[in-house]
Structure 1
C-alpha cells in the first residue's frame, strides 16, 4: 500500500464487524506529514488511526504513530491490535516490534482454532497513584456522579499503561450503565491533567470487569474498547495488591453503546508490564 491509497478499516477486540472499536490503519505513511495524518484520522472519524511511518519487514519492526480526529495520541491499544492483525494477515503470524512515542511495544500474533488472527501486545511498564481530591471532585462533577456512586473497595487512581487514565470504579452495574456527562467540562478536566480517557469500571468478580471510557479530548463521546486503559487497569490492580499470582482478567466494554468488546489482560505481581489480547476484523467499506 502506498501513502496515497485509502486507509484500511478494522474493528478491534471483537470477531464481529458490528462490535469492537473501529480503527484506521495506514500501512505506509512514510510520505505523510502531521497535517495529512490528522486529516485522514479526522476524515475516518474513529477514535484513533495507526500510521506506519517506517518499516523493516525483514526484522518485522515498524515505527507507528497514532492520531485521533483532533490530535496525536502517544499510544493506542485498540489501534495497535488492529494494525498487528492487519500486518499478520499480510506478512504471516509471528512476533512484531512496534516503535511508538512511549517506547517499544512487542506484539505476538498467532491464529486460533478458527484460523483468525489473535494479537497480544505487551505494554510499557504500568503504574498507578491515588487521585487527588481536586482531580476527583472536578471529574465527578463533570460526570454528574456522586462520591456515593463509587466502590469504596476500589479507590480512584490515575493509572498509566502508555497514557494516563483516571480509574473510577462504580458501585453498581446500573451506575456504570447510566452515563450522561458534560462533554466540555470533562474534556477541560482531562486536558488540565493530561488524561487520555476516564476509565469507568464495575467489578463483577475479581477476574471480570465491565468498562466504559469517555474520550472527549479526542473528540469522541465514548470508546467501545480501550487497550491502553486496559493495560493501565492491570497496573492499577497490581498496585492495589489485588493481583497475587499471574492472573487473566476479562474486560467487557462497549456493551452499553451497542458495540460489545472483549479484552483479556495478563497481569503478574512480578512484572510491571501488562499483556493485552484481542482479535480484530476488517470493516466492509461502502461500495466495496
Structure 2
C-alpha cells in the first residue's frame, strides 16, 4: 500500500519555488515494489521522483532509484540535487554517497553565502558522433532542418549517466521555438536509448542556454536536466570546446528559469554539476 507514503516535493537548480525543476522525494522507500514506485511517480507527475530504497545515515550512504511518470531512469541530476538538499537539511551538510543504477554518485552539500547548495560528481562521461539516419529522423520530429544547427558543434550522443542526443541550435530564436511531434520523437528515442534530447545555444564559452524534450518519461520538456548538463560537460571536453567551468540556463522558455553550474572534475571526464533546491510549500 502506498497511501501512507510521505512524498517530499522540492524544486532544484533554483532558490525560487516558482523556478527550477520539481522533483518528488521518498526518503523511506525500502518496502516499495517497482510497480508501486512507478505508480507514485505517475501520481506526483513531476519529470522524476527519487526513491531511497536503502539508507545508512551514519555513513551518509543511500541507494537511490529514479522514476519518471512512465518509466524508470538510471540517473536523474535534478532529483539528486533535490534529494541531497533534503538530506542535508535533516542530517547536516557534508558528503553524501548515492548508489544509483548508473553507478556511484558522490554529492557534496554546503552552505554558500547563507544558501544550501549541492554538487554532484557524475560517472565518467563520454561522447560520440550521432548517426546520420537518427539525426535526420530527429530533425524531422523536431520540425528542424540542418540549417537550424550550429556547425561549430557537431551532433553527438553524450553520456553522463544516461545517453542524450546533443544538438546545437544556430540561434536563440530557433531554440525558443520548440513544437515537436511527441509520439514520433518518443518512439525514436526509445529505439535509440536516449533519455532526453539536449538542445542548446551558445551565448558564450561560459554560458549556454538549453532545452530538453523528455517524451520517453511522459513529459514534454524538462525545466532543468542535471544528467544532460553532466553529459554536456563531457561533450564539450571531447570536442575541446567551451570552458572548463560554465553555466547552463534552462527552463526560461517554460517559465521555470533554472541555473546549473558545471565543471570538469577529473581527467576521466567526470562532470560536477551544482545548484540549490527549495521546498515547494503548497504542494
TM interval, short-chain normalised: over 0.9
2:125–2:268 contact (8 Å) kept in structure 1: no
1:235–1:272 contact (8 Å) kept in structure 2: yes
For residues 285 and 16 of structure 1, the distance between their equivalents in structure 2, rounded to whole angstroms, comes to 13
1:166–1:197 contact (8 Å) kept in structure 2: yes
After TM superposition, the structure 1 = structure 2 runs for residues 32-181 of structure 1, keeping only pairs within 5 Å, are 32-114=32-114, 116-181=115-180
The SS at the match of 1:217 is: helix
Report the counterpart of residue 277 of structure 2 in structure 1.
280
For residues 155 and 45 of structure 1, the distance between their equivalents in structure 2, rounded to whole angstroms, comes to 34
CA displacement 1:153-179 (0-9 Å, x = unmatched): 000000000000000000000000000
Q: What's the CA shift for 1:92?
A: 0.1
For residues 14 and 3 of structure 2, the distance between their equivalents in structure 1, rounded to whole angstroms, comes to 27
Alpha carbons of 1:95 and 1:3: their partners in 2 closer, same or farther (altered >3 Å)?
farther
Alpha carbons of 1:85 and 1:3: their partners in 2 closer, same or farther (altered >3 Å)?
farther
2:205–2:242 contact (8 Å) kept in structure 1: no
Report the counterpart of residue 241 of structure 2 in structure 1.
242
Q: What's the CA shift for 1:27?
A: 0.3
Asked if 1:256 corresponds to 2:253, the answer is yes
Q: What's the CA shift for 1:270?
A: 2.8
Q: What's the CA shift for 1:249?
A: 0.6
CA displacement 1:114-141 (0-9 Å, x = unmatched): 2x21000000000000001001000000
For residues 50 and 269 of structure 1, the distance between their equivalents in structure 2, rounded to whole angstroms, comes to 26
CA displacement 1:234-279 (0-9 Å, x = unmatched): 00000001257xx211000000000000000012573410000000
Query: What's the RMSD between the two structures over aligned residues?
Result: 1.3
CA displacement 1:201-254 (0-9 Å, x = unmatched): 00000111000000000000000000000000000000001257xx21100000
For residues 30 and 269 of structure 1, the distance between their equivalents in structure 2, rounded to whole angstroms, comes to 33
Report the counterpart of residue 267 of structure 2 in structure 1.
270
Equivalenced residue count is: 282
For residues 282 and 58 of structure 2, the distance between their equivalents in structure 1, rounded to whole angstroms, comes to 30
1:21–1:259 contact (8 Å) kept in structure 2: yes
For residues 154 and 173 of structure 1, the distance between their equivalents in structure 2, rounded to whole angstroms, comes to 15
2:265–2:272 contact (8 Å) kept in structure 1: no
Report the counterpart of residue 230 of structure 1 in structure 2.
229
Q: What's the CA shift for 1:31?
A: 1.1
TM-score normalized by the length of structure 1:
0.96
Q: What's the CA shift for 1:12?
A: 0.3
For residues 243 and 280 of structure 1, the distance between their equivalents in structure 2, rounded to whole angstroms, comes to 26
For residues 77 and 59 of structure 1, the distance between their equivalents in structure 2, rounded to whole angstroms, comes to 22
Q: What's the CA shift for 1:66?
A: 0.3
2:206–2:242 contact (8 Å) kept in structure 1: no
Q: What's the CA shift for 1:284?
A: 1.4
The SS at the match of 1:88 is: helix
What are the ranges of 5 or more consecutive residues in structure 1 without an aligned counterpart? none
Report the counterpart of residue 195 of structure 1 in structure 2.
194
TM-score normalized by the length of structure 2:
0.97
1:13–1:278 contact (8 Å) kept in structure 2: yes
